A and B are shown apart, each in its own frame.
Chain A
């Protein structure tokens, strides 16, 4: 099972919106609605931001939203803030022998 494909980096200015894509296959993202997104600041553990494609855990800002179309999932962050600068990882359930796969990660820079 190959890793999901994410852009290596994205950037935006405070107040702007950005979208991070995550491309998989018809066996993972395209088949299951179990896509999740994680935020990771340097030296810290990942933090769940979106689960089941588009649901936000309690306490996560509504500036974060998720969606899916076909084999590609997306994370959108609106009203960018400096504290959003971090690495973001997508993940999907696969149902195969490697049950969960991650994307390679996207570094978000808030200029």
Chain B
């Protein structure tokens, strides 16, 4: 069965960077896009960007351009999301999600809580 397993919770200082991983299993990693979506406490879902595992091509939401980098290692079916210049309002649960291209998200990881503190 399809599974997306994410790395554990992180606590970071303001201005630091965080790297979250998402390990996929149960399907051919290069056949589907991998998206990142975040959710601040008590707030809605926010699309951050995605990577095309077959090419490594990325597209980022305008809001995160310059601060986010998405990458992957196809040999271990793992995607990474690196967010730099962390601010307090980056405190959120970060999800990876398998997408049928950019149309919808069929499977989601369990989420990774990133807390930005002083």
Q: Which chain A residues have a beta carbon within 8 Å of chain B's beta carbons? A: 1, 3, 34, 36, 38, 45-48, 51-52, 57, 89, 91, 93, 97-105
Whether A46 contacts B108 by the Cβ 8 Å rule is yes
B13 to chain A, nearest CB (A): 26
Among the 9-residue stretches B43-51, B70-78, B83-91, the one with 4 or more Cβ atoms under 8 Å from chain A is B43-51
Chain B residues whose C-beta falls within 8 Å of the C-beta of A102 in the assembled complex: 37, 44-47
A105 to B53 CA separation, bound complex (whole angstroms): 30
A93 to B33 CA separation, bound complex (whole angstroms): 14
Whether A104 contacts B44 by the Cβ 8 Å rule is yes
A81 to B110 CA separation, bound complex (whole angstroms): 25
* Among A45, A47, A52, A101, contact of B47 (Cβ-Cβ < 8 Å): A101
* Among B44, B97, B103, contact of A51 (Cβ-Cβ < 8 Å): B103
Whether B109 contacts A45 by the Cβ 8 Å rule is yes
Chain A residues whose C-beta falls within 8 Å of the C-beta of B97 in the assembled complex: 46
Chain B residues whose C-beta falls within 8 Å of the C-beta of A100 in the assembled complex: 35, 47, 102
B32 to chain A, nearest CB (A): 13
Can you report 20 A-B residue pairs in the complex whose CB atoms are below 8 A from each other?
A: A34-B102, A34-B103, A34-B104, A38-B105, A45-B95, A45-B110, A46-B105, A51-B103, A51-B106, A57-B106, A89-B45, A97-B61, A98-B47, A98-B62, A99-B61, A99-B102, A102-B37, A102-B46, A103-B44, A105-B45
Whether B63 contacts A45 by the Cβ 8 Å rule is no
Closest residue on chain A to residue B45 by CB atoms: A102
Contact (A105, B104) CB under 8 Å given A45-B109, A45-B111, A46-B95: no
B26 to chain A, nearest CB (A): 15
A48 to B61 CA separation, bound complex (whole angstroms): 21
